[in-house]
Amino acid sequence: MNKKTIKDIDVAGKKCLVRVDFNVPIVDGVITDLNRIEGAIPTIKYLSDKGAKVILCSHMGRPKGEFNMKYSLRPVAVKLAEMLGKPVTFATDVIGQDAQAKVAACKNGEIVLLENLRFHNEEEKNDKGFCEALSKFCEIYVNDAFGTAHRAHASTAGIVQYGFAKVAVAGFLIGRELDIMGGALENPKRPFVAILGGAKVSDKIGVINNLLEKVDTLIIGGAMAYTFFAAEGRKVGNSLCEPDKFGLAKELIEKAKAKGVKFLLPADNVCSDKFDANANTQIVHGEIPDGWQGLDIGPETCRLYAEAVKNAGTVIWNGPMGVFEMEKFAQGTKAVAKALAESGAITIIGGGDSAAAVTQLGYADKMTHISTGGGASLEFLEGIELPGVACLNDKE
């Protein structure tokens, strides 16, 4: 994608305000998942090594505009310093006296982390005055938080949109997201296969529509498959489905036919007599009887979907195949993850539950790319312009 990155500019001696995504889970003061911090380290290290004054900013949780220490980024500053092997100065506010003093004292190559942006309501409201205050810490704006790039907040877009940051570039994390996912959408190695799961068709309408213009095969799993079944007049028992989307489901199936895209729906389903980890189950081919609900794709479908990705050139996967958090209904998601790990394809995991599943199953290192943005990657796959990317400077 045609956006400047930190490698395209001289950062030495400049105050670089870097929007990172340090929205990490903390239990009893301990960070339980370091992925987002690890993802930001190459950009932080590069800027520091090049002699920039690195000013980091992030949100954490939903503190609703109040200084709530439950959502403080202080533990992140401690862990980041440990991971970098160098000091990280922590500012106890965002744009107040402590932040101003610590940024003013920051020397070339040093790092300051500001307190949680969302301690100010103005962050999510994209308030012009807040953007101006943040810009005092910024000669160069760097966005490296893909997970929030679909939000038009002060720190993700407003600071540039209002004209306070003239130089605005991508960090390595966003650069990689744009290169890999953008490359797959614009010039994929074929055959190009997309796998979409999750509960609702309504969540993925735009994604399906956009991908039908680009893919050779579209695979559907998760509860959204039952909306397509029911739209075709098949019985789905008590399975989750969206009757108000039947017309749209038919249109998407027709669009796939017209475009010559293989549109794969489950051939069999793991069905349950109730939504419970210990419920009675049966494998059902075809229509689902009354009193039963589909909660995962069946073994035949696992084989069918694995075969579809076997010789693929590029595969994008977003959304689990069943109720992955219950072991009885996790086999479909496991089978798809295994098939992708064993394929020779460029494999792109679109964040969210799919990313969690791949990581839990130990296949993360077998995938080409695991997106750091759930909502952002979905909107990107849908073809929607992301505010946090659109605001960055174009390459010459």
**Of these residues, 96, 206, 375, 383, which one is catalytic?**
375
**Count of C-beta atoms within a 10 Å radius of residue 306:** 16
- Is 352 part of the annotated catalytic residue set? yes
- Is 234 part of the annotated catalytic residue set? no
Q: Which of 150, 132, 144, 152 is nearest to 169 (CA)?
A: 144
Give the H/E segment covering residue 90.
strand 89-90
The residue type at 151: R
Q: What burial class does residue 257 get, using C-beta atoms within 10 Å of its C-beta: 0-12 exposed, 13-18 middle, 19+ buried?
A: exposed
* Contact between residue 204 and residue 259 where contact means Cβ atoms under 8 Å apart: no
Q: What burial class does residue 281 get, using C-beta atoms within 10 Å of its C-beta: 0-12 exposed, 13-18 middle, 19+ buried?
A: middle
DSSP string, 70-113: GG-SHHHHHHHHHHHTS--EE-SSSSSHHHHHHHHHPPTT-EEE
Task: Reduce the DSSP state of residue 262 to 3 states and report it.
Answer: strand
Q: How far is CA 119 from CA 27, 60, 125, 211, 339, in A?
A: 20, 9, 12, 38, 44
- Residue 63 phi/psi, 5-degree rounding, is -75, -5
Task: Reduce the DSSP state of residue 271 to 3 states and report it.
Answer: strand
User: In the block, which residue shows the tokens 């549109």?
Assistant: 263
* Contact between residue 383 and residue 210 where contact means Cβ atoms under 8 Å apart: yes
* Contact between residue 88 and residue 112 where contact means Cβ atoms under 8 Å apart: yes
Q: Tell how many helices (H) and how many strands (E) occur in the chain.
A: 15, 17
**Of these residues, 351, 352, 374, 388, which one is catalytic?**
352
**Count of C-beta atoms within a 10 Å radius of residue 191:** 17
- Is 262 part of the annotated catalytic residue set? no
Q: How far apart are CA 119 and CA 68, in angstroms?
A: 7
Kindly state the tokens that stand for 197.
């799961």
**Of these residues, 4, 45, 200, 235, which one is catalytic?**
200
Kindly state the tokens that stand for 33.
């998942």
Q: How far apart are CA 280 and CA 388, in angstroms?
A: 47
**Of these residues, 15, 36, 176, 204, which one is catalytic?**
36
- Is 375 part of the annotated catalytic residue set? yes
Q: How far apart are CA 327 and CA 372, in angstroms?
A: 25
Kindly state the tokens that stand for 127.
């308030």
Q: What is the DSSP letter of 260?
A: T
Active site residues: 36, 200, 352, 375
